[in-house]
Structure 1
Amino acid sequence: MACQPRGRRGRGGRGNRNEESRDMRLSKSLTYILRHGANKMGLQMNSDGFVFVEEILAHQQFRSFSLEDVERVVATDDKQRFKLCNHTEDGRLQIRANQGHSVQVTDLELREVALDDPDYPREAVHGSYMTHWPSIRSQGLSRMNRTHIHLAPGLPGEGRVISGMRQSCDLAVYIDVAKAMSDGIEFFWSENGVLLTPGDAAGFLAPRYFSRAQTLKPSPCEIELH
């Protein structure tokens, strides 16, 4: 991957509410483009998932935003969803999403997890919602239209966990990673610490890999797997 990382800024406080609202709009628009819609919007995405920032800012939807806006949104994103760096050949600034793609990205710099890795989590958690529990309990977790199922090594706020599930999730499904890997299911680390798996050939993590499940709101409570 031809990329020279740019130095990260500190996560200082944001400006007024109007600026925060603009930042949120920009973050959501970048997320859509870099995970799903670059080609639909006429933007060229490289095989490693990067899109040149100047091309994004030239698009009609982004003409009210500046390079400084993009840099601020990347630097202050608590979940580190994006990577911003200079192309090594021509120095042009480029950006990509660290995970969450529904389009195929062949060189996302994912680190494959092996059973003999000393740091892989024996158990990982997927955040969802209780309304989906009947389907999850019977069919398993599905990657749906994405290329991977997203897992975290713990709940948000535990240790170094910053990403992998939405804060609004009210269901946590815990996965026996070692058992799944023993059956040939692959797992990968993204650059921002999300554990990713494509699941089985059909894109599922079957219920037999669930180690436990619990509701998260209003307070954690174990629920039956069967």
Structure 2
Amino acid sequence: MSSTDADMLQDRQERRQAKKDRKRQEPRQHTSGHSKGEGGRGGGSAKLRGLPKDSHDVRISKTLSWILRHGSQSEGLAMRPDGYVRVDELLARPKLRELSLAALQKIVESDSKNRYNLVFEADPKGGHETWWIRANQGHSIKSVALDLEPIGCHADIPSGIAVHGTNKHAWQSIEHQGLSKMTRNHIHLAQGVAGSGIISGMRSSSQILIFINVQKALDAGIKFYLSDNGVVLTAGNDQGFLPPEFFSRVETADRKPLSGWDGPEGVPATSSDAKPPMTDDTISSQSAAGGTAGTDGGLQSAIAANVDGVEGLEKKVKATTL
């Protein structure tokens, strides 16, 4: 299941559970006179998000992620346009009261996918410095405008690759309608597959890998961005889709291409000023291109360049020999 698919399924399950929790709490709040900040719509319940099988730490992480990506309003948290909320207000929520600043900092530092960003800066409203936190991507809150880095061409992606992971069932519809951002602000694309050193953008359990021709999509007017943690993001077209015409290759998790989808993965990023190594073939072609009059000069220059390179390498080897 893709990261987006799994999150949306879990969100639906947890919303239903949260609704049940609120209904159970409302009569008690009415009779006891508790404020909204103690539970219910104004401050959220104290129940952690996640599934019963999840460990306590996992449920804390899922709760933090959900609040910062989707649930700040239901938790009564003020969120800046760039997605940051005050840490002191976050840790005052019933769900996270057991969490200290030190524990939160440890979660942020140890997160394998670099999901969060912590900053210590002045409060725009009050002037004094305080801690702020945000999720680096994955929001469904429409008012959040992250300071994302625009991608102007394919070469702006460090790895040269943008790939989305999903499951076999979802692929049946994606193959025809394309990738959808669904309720989120963006479609998420990783810069590589699991195990390739990529830290974020795809679940390791993905069954189908969809590689995107980013340059073709850019040329068609679709915008792409890089998040702080290296995830490639796009809102897709006007309907929120990235159509199949921009899929360059689709393969299974064991790297076997699907029938009809055996194109390239992407364009590996290379330095614009990199020069190919000098070979006998390139020397011959350069000599031929120079014509009869320039043959000797071009050939001698090429040979001299190679000789200088070899001699320089030999000197370095001698200098470092023990």
- TM-score, normalized by the shorter chain, greater than 0.5: yes
Q: Which has the higher contact order (CA 8 A, sep 6+)?
A: 1
**If the length of structure 2 is used for normalisation, what is the TM-score?**
0.60
Q: Within 5 Å, which residues of 2 pair with 1:44-55? A: 44-55=78-89
For residue 163 of structure 2, give the secondary structure of its aligned residue in structure 1.
Answer: strand
3-state DSSP of counterpart to 1:40 = coil
Tell me: CA distance 1:21–1:145, structure 2 relative to 1, closer, same or farther (3 Å): same
Shift of residue 145, structure 1, vs aligned partner: 0.4
Query: Who is 2:91 aligned against?
Result: 57
Match of 1:223 in 2: 258
- Aligned residue for 1:101? 139
Alignment-derived partner of residue 103 in structure 2? 69
Matched residue, 2:153: 115
CA distance in 2, matches of 1:180, 1:118: 14
**AA of the residue aligned to 1:220:** R
User: 1:72–1:197: structure 2 CA closer, same or farther, 3 Å change rule?
Assistant: same
What residue number does 2:205 align with? 168
**1:165 shift after superposition:** 0.6
Q: Does 1:86 align with 2:120?
A: yes
The Cα RMSD (Å) is 1.8
Could you list the per-position Cα deviations for residues 140-186 of structure 1 after superposition, in whole angstroms to 9, with x for gaps in the alignment? Answer: 00000000000012112324x11011111111001000100010110
Distance in 1 (alpha carbons) for counterparts of 2:158 and 2:132: 30
Matched, 1:29 2:63: yes
Alpha-carbon distance change, 22 to 135 in structure 1, aligned in 2, over 3 angstroms: same
Gaps of 5+ in 2: 1-53, 262-322
* Alpha-carbon distance change, 187 to 210 in structure 1, aligned in 2, over 3 angstroms: same
* Compared CA separation, residues 94 and 127, structure 1 to 2 (3 A): same
What is the aligned length?
Answer: 204
| C-alpha distance in 1 between matches for 2:184 and 2:217 | 19
How far apart, in 2, do the equivalents of 1:105 and 1:117 lie? 30
Q: Is the 8 A contact 1:122 1:177 kept in 2?
A: no
- Which has more radius of gyration? 2
Secondary structure in 2 matching 1:224: strand
The residue type equivalent to 2:129 in the other structure is G
Identity of aligned residues (%): 43
> Partners of 2:238 and 2:159 in 1: how far apart?
23
The 1:116–1:37 alpha-carbon spacing in structure 2 relative to 1, beyond 3 Å, is closer
Shift of 1:82: 0.2
Letter in 2 for 1:210: F
Match of 2:170 in 1: 132
Return the letter of the residue paired with 2:86: F
Deviation, structure 1 residue 24: 1.9
1:104-146 deviation per Cα after TM superposition (whole angstroms, max 9, x unaligned): 2444110001028555555410011111111000000000000
Q: CA deviation at 1:65?
A: 1.5
Tell me the secondary structure at the aligned position of residue 178 of structure 1.
helix
Contact residue 53 and residue 95 of structure 1 kept, 8 A: yes
CA distance in 1, matches of 2:161, 2:170: 21
Partner of 2:236: 199
Match of 1:14 in 2: none
2:154 touches 2:215 (CA, 8 Å); kept in 1? no
Preserved CA contact (<8 Å) 1:130 1:171: yes
Per the normalisation by structure 1, the TM-score is 0.85
Spell out structure 1 runs of 4+ moving beyond 6 A. none
* Cα contact 2:83–2:146 (8 A) shared by 1: yes
